[in-house]
Structure 1
Amino acid sequence: MFTGIIETVGVVTDILVNGSNKSFWIKCTLASEFKVDQSICHQGVCLTVENIQNDTYKVTAIEETLKKTNLNDWRIGDKINIERCMIMNGRLDGHIVQGHVDATAICTSKLDAKGSWEFTFSYPFSFAHLLIEKGSIAVNGTSLTCFNIKENSFTVAIIPYTFEHTSIHNVSVESIVNIEFDVIGKYIARMQSLK
């Protein structure tokens, strides 16, 4: 379980293909604090640490994960958002993020709002019932508030701190991002569908 508050940005240093799986070596300032078997959120995707070597560690994504996320698009040198799992006696500064990506979205607009930035994303219409005005969404693992909700698009505003300290500054028009809808909204939608 995560909060969507990014701790650091890592860099992909190597990519290995093994059958239908891909393994990624990631350089990160927090790597020395990680341990094997620990769950870490990468661009919104929960992956398990398999190996640690100094300031670099290895994770593997299976075919199912590669199909539902943007991990197949990762390249050596890419910067990615990193967050360790939440501590249950800590503050929930963002919202509840599981690291289970629901879909990918495409950036359709990136606007410099003179002190902040506004990004608009299009996403599959089949998820439209899970978004509400001023509700929470995780974009590449970052907890954000969405607004200007349309049938298949939403906008988020990014403050300077988030722009500088996450990988959102690398997102441009046509970039593909991972999105996870609010888990509480998903449970409510499920309960309503069974009535």
Structure 2
Amino acid sequence: MFTGIIESIGTIRALTPKGGDVRVLVETGKLDLSDVRLGDSIAVNGVCLTAVELPGDGFWADVSRETLARTAFVDFKPGSRVNLEKALTPTSRLGGHLVSGHVDGVGEIVAREENARAVQFRVRAPAELARYIAMKGSITVDGTSLTVNAVDGAEFELTIVPHTLAETIMADYRPGRQVNLEVDLLARYLERLLLGDKAAESSGRTGGITEGFLAEHGYLK
């Protein structure tokens, strides 16, 4: 679990195809790794990854096909900046909201506008996530816990203060940028509970990531 309060901006240093998926090296910048052990979780742009190697100034992690299919990880390349947060501990302050690190879908920045010293963004979510996004509710964008200021269909607005712009990668956002979205945990579980007995019925969902998907995005030669 995470809070959505970003601790450091890191940098993708390597993306290596490995056994059909990808291994990534993340340089962690000012993130304190002194208490991080192999197997610990670190959120990278809101994606919960497991540290499998700790070279000293960062960590290696494996990125599964499921993660490649459901997140904006496919847009990363060496040099990409990313938001980083270590997992919660029992004594952590919950400064944002409860974040699982399991991305629900990929959104798109559709507008950016200066608003006094802040910046206002309009983000388009996938249509299937719109019902989970509420005015003044919480949403996670690339791992950052944010408050929704307005909602219009599948689009929502965010007002980002100077501190958040300085401490996250949001200053880099421009229209057309793809971002990882995680909706509020409570909204997801509430919907499932409201299904009652129908929750046990198969939805018949098929598909997912394929060899073709990996090849198209340069992960397979």
Judge same fold: TM > 0.5, yes or no: yes
Report % sequence identity: 30
Alpha-carbon shift at residue 50 of structure 1 (Å): 0.6
Partner SS for 1:49? strand
Checking the alignment, whether the CA contact within 8 Å between 1:133 and 1:146 is kept in structure 2 is: yes
Alpha-carbon shift at residue 31 of structure 1 (Å): 5.9
Equivalent position of 1:146 in the other structure: 148
Alpha-carbon shift at residue 26 of structure 1 (Å): 1.1
Q: Deviations over 1:7-44 (max 9, x none)?
A: 00101111101243111111113364222100110000
Please, what is the CA RMSD of the aligned residues?
A: 1.2
Equivalent position of 2:39 in the other structure: 37
Checking the alignment, whether the CA contact within 8 Å between 1:31 and 1:52 is kept in structure 2 is: no
Equivalent position of 1:11 in the other structure: 11
1:1-195 equivalences in 2 (<5 Å): 1-28=1-28, 29-30=30-31, 32-33=33-34, 34-194=36-196
Checking the alignment, whether the CA contact within 8 Å between 1:104 and 1:176 is kept in structure 2 is: yes
Partner SS for 1:53? coil
Checking the alignment, whether the CA contact within 8 Å between 1:129 and 1:189 is kept in structure 2 is: no
Whole-Å separation in 1 of the counterparts to 2:58 and 2:96: 27
Alpha-carbon shift at residue 161 of structure 1 (Å): 0.4
Checking the alignment, whether the CA contact within 8 Å between 1:23 and 1:60 is kept in structure 2 is: yes
> CA, structure 1 residues 61+154, in 2 after alignment: closer, same or farther (shift >3 Å)?
same
Checking the alignment, whether the CA contact within 8 Å between 1:51 and 1:59 is kept in structure 2 is: yes
Whole-Å separation in 2 of the counterparts to 1:32 and 1:7: 11
State the TM-score, normalizing by the size of structure 1: 0.96
The number of aligned residues is: 195
Alpha-carbon shift at residue 151 of structure 1 (Å): 1.5
Whole-Å separation in 1 of the counterparts to 2:159 and 2:144: 12
Task: State the 4+ residue runs in structure 1 displaced beyond 3 angstroms.
Answer: none
Could you tell which deviates more after superposition, 123-132 or 57-66? Answer: 123-132
Point out the structure with max Rg over C-alpha.
Answer: 2
Structure 2: where are the runs of 5+ without partners? 198-221
State the TM-score, normalizing by the size of structure 2: 0.85
Could you tell which deviates more after superposition, 40-49 or 127-136? Answer: 127-136
Structure 1: where are the runs of 5+ without partners? none
Partner SS for 2:152? coil
